[in-house]
Structure 1
């Protein structure tokens, strides 16, 4: 059973590294040409895959804006004001729209049966 798990782990690493290498733009590949990395990953699956992940992948710091990075998740852009994102319960505008004030009547509710009071 352990042999099967090890084989599947090796296969998964090979597939991940190969797909990552193929999807990376040629100009962003480090240390070796892209075709050499692909050959290394296929011919030496464990060594080639680990080498690609450590020495061939593009660095995540700096470079292109997040929307143009191949590893971008497509999530929201950073906030213009910086800082951590706020939850809806910290946003006064959001809370104001949740519970709007009751409309002002001209006093035509003589019985006072308005349930909002």
Structure 2
């Protein structure tokens, strides 16, 4: 099996180069006509195949247009608004939670939630009479 693998790779390279010659445009040949490329590949299989692939790749790279960005004028314009930053991401971050407005707000929200939960009894913990009175 190991003796066959290099031979198959060599054959695949030659076949790939021949198919590339047949399917490519005239401009991909680097100034050489397709018939001459086929002759070069058949007479010098390894060197001709590698040469064809290198020449055609360079020719295609020179013809390839610049990638489109989606904007007709070129590069993407810069953002017109500052990026949002949290208080803990800034250089002047508060030294304690009491100095942080966001932390105070979060603590206040948690306190209000606890108060609401304590003020409203859970329906699952009511006795049977309370549930009947509430339903009726």
TM-score, length-scaled by structure 2:
0.44
Which has the larger share of helix? 2
TM-score, length-scaled by structure 1:
0.50
**Based on CA coordinates, which of the two structures has the bigger radius of gyration?**
2
